[in-house]
Amino acid sequence: MKKVTKILLAISLSAIMLTGCGGEDPNTIEFWTPLTGDDGANMDQIVADYNATDPEFKVKHVITSDMYTKMYTVLNSGSGIPDLAIIHADRVPNFVEQDLLEPVTSIMSAQPELKEDNFLTEAWTAGNVDGTQYTIPLDIHGSAMYYNKELLAKYGVENFLDDNVVTFDEMLSLQGKLDEGQYVLNDALLSWVIFAQIQNLGGQIQDENGNPTINTPEMKEAIESIKELKDAGLMTPYGEDGYLMFQSGNVLFSTDGTWSSIGHATVESLDFGVTNIYAYEPETFHNRASSHLFGLLSSEERTDEKEQGIGEFLEFVRENSIEWAEAGQIVASEDVVNSPDYENYIQSFFTSTEEQTESLYIYTDKHYPYIAEALDNYAADMVHGEIGVDEGLEEMQKFVEDKVAEGSLDLENAVTEEEGE
């Protein structure tokens, strides 16, 4: 009943129009997020719990599916700018370059526990540009690989998980051994899997001058390695919903997101666990990640008093964000991550050891949103043989270079796949 109530609350709040909001009420903190999924209800609950403490400045949570476009509108107009917003990690460099984001220095001074030592390092540093802190982290969310325990036992490959890293060679060893209609892996969040392989191979997506680099040996090797799995008949068919095929019990490994554990858990017949995205060798593995970050959009209307109230809210979240774990997210607060209750959540696997935490890799390259868009457009076609790998790499490189040549990366363009998570 609690979850149903949360979902209904999220739906009702999603319908709120943004007209007239953005910090115009001197006693209310206007808080924008793109949390249109079930996670919006979890944030609603955190806000409700905070408001129940009777703070001087209550928080109003406003959810919108096209938040970045609306941000662009209000920032251009100079009015209706929210007091507080959640943005994704890959947005920070461009927000800062365009003077759209204010440092959180004064908030950190007023709330001394809002400091790097109290948050996961990867989430904290995602909001740091040239030594200045522009955000306070809420979480790390990223790719994960779920496994079907019954299928692993059926095919006698439980040992694949002995070191928590399933390798390409281990998956290829199952070629020709699966029953018809069953597969080793799906192609869910395929571009995220490729980003993980780029790190495994020691590659980069921009050169020393900050120019995007797509057509590289590492990108080619990553895509060709995944294509080899497809060509061996181990990947779910192109166009099929591999996520649902995993839930129906016909796929050993599903490469979707940390938040997907909530959906998988609703399938009573699915006995599953979670591990790292597959890699070339157990000693080198990464999980492509991002982060929801609290930020202050540039505004002349935000008062010092309201900024102090924002700091009090963020400190409350730092101490009381176990609710956010219910959304399937890796909470950024060290207090929460190290609490006994957090161990009850499956995503705690990714912070269970120092090695696991270090596997979480957040891309903050300036042109990352364009590169992610290019991979989303071309990766599946290359892996499934609809387009040659060399041709696809050339087209992706041109795609990104054309985007860069059009001008600076603005808020309205290059919306990533993460908007709405």
pLDDT of residue 24: 60
Instruction: Please give the single-letter amino acid code of residue 266.
Output: T
Residue 103, strand partner residues: none
Look at the domain 142-289+364-405 and name its fold: D-Maltodextrin-Binding Protein; domain 2 (3.40.190)
- Residues 131-148: tens digit of each pLDDT: 999 999 999 999 999 999
Contact yes or no for 334/120 (Cβ under 8 A): yes
Instruction: Please give the single-letter amino acid code of residue 399.
Output: F
Contact yes or no for 30/21 (Cβ under 8 A): yes
Distance CA 120, CA 109 (A): 20
Tell me the mean pLDDT in the region 194-211.
96
- Cβ-based burial of 52 (10 A; exposed 0-12, middle 13-18, buried ≥19): exposed
Tell me the mean pLDDT in the region 234-244.
97
- Statement: residue 119 has pLDDT above 90: yes
Distance CA 414, CA 367 (A): 9
Contact yes or no for 144/347 (Cβ under 8 A): yes
- Statement: residue 25 has pLDDT above 90: no
Instruction: Return the HEC string of the chain.
Output: CHHHHHHHHHHHHHCCCCCCCCCCCCCEEEEEECCCCCHHHHHHHHHHHHHCCCCCCEEEEEECCCHHHHHHHHHHHCCCCCCEEEEEHHHHHHHHHCCCEECCHHHHHHCCCCCHHHECHHHHHCCEECCEECEEECEEEEECEEEEHHHHHHCCCHHHHCCCCCEHHHHHCCCCCCCCCCEEECCCCHHHHHHHHHHHCCCCCECCCCCECCCCHHHHHHHHHHHHHHHCCCECCCCCCHHHHHHCCCEEEECCEHHHHHHHHCCCCCCEEEECCCECECCECCEEEECEEEEEECCCCCCHHHHHHHHHHHHHHHHCCHHHHCCCCEECEHHHHCCHHHHHCHHHHHHCCHHHHHCEEECCCCCHHHHHHHHHHHHHHHHCCCCCHHHHHHHHHHHHHHHHHCCCCCCCCCCCCCCCC
| Fold equal for 2-138+291-319 and 142-289+364-405 | yes
Q: How far apart are the first and last CA of the chain?
A: 23
Distance CA 24, CA 301 (A): 8
Which one is the CATH code of 2-138+291-319: 1.10.10.10, 3.90.660.10, 3.40.190.10, 3.30.1330.60?
A: 3.40.190.10
Nearest to 278 by CA among 214, 353, 185, 384: 185
More confident residue, 128 or 406: 128
- Statement: residue 261 has pLDDT above 50: yes
Distance CA 135, CA 307 (A): 13
Tell me the mean pLDDT in the region 159-183.
98
Contact yes or no for 337/370 (Cβ under 8 A): no
Structure tokens at 396: 């992706």
Tell me the mean pLDDT in the region 197-211.
95
Tell me the mean pLDDT in the region 395-408.
89
Distance CA 207, CA 393 (A): 16
Tell me the mean pLDDT in the region 63-75.
91
**What is the share, in percent, of the chain residues with pLDDT greater than 70?**
90
Domain boundaries, the chain: 2-138+291-319, 142-289+364-405
Distance CA 285, CA 142 (A): 14
Structure tokens at 117: 């030592």
- Statement: residue 64 has pLDDT above 50: yes
Distance CA 46, CA 301 (A): 26
Contact yes or no for 347/274 (Cβ under 8 A): yes
Distance CA 213, CA 400 (A): 9
Tell me the mean pLDDT in the region 224-235.
98
More confident residue, 415 or 320: 320
Distance CA 97, CA 92 (A): 9
Residue 194, strand partner residues: none
- The confidence band for 191, taking pLDDT boundaries of 50, 70 and 90, is very high
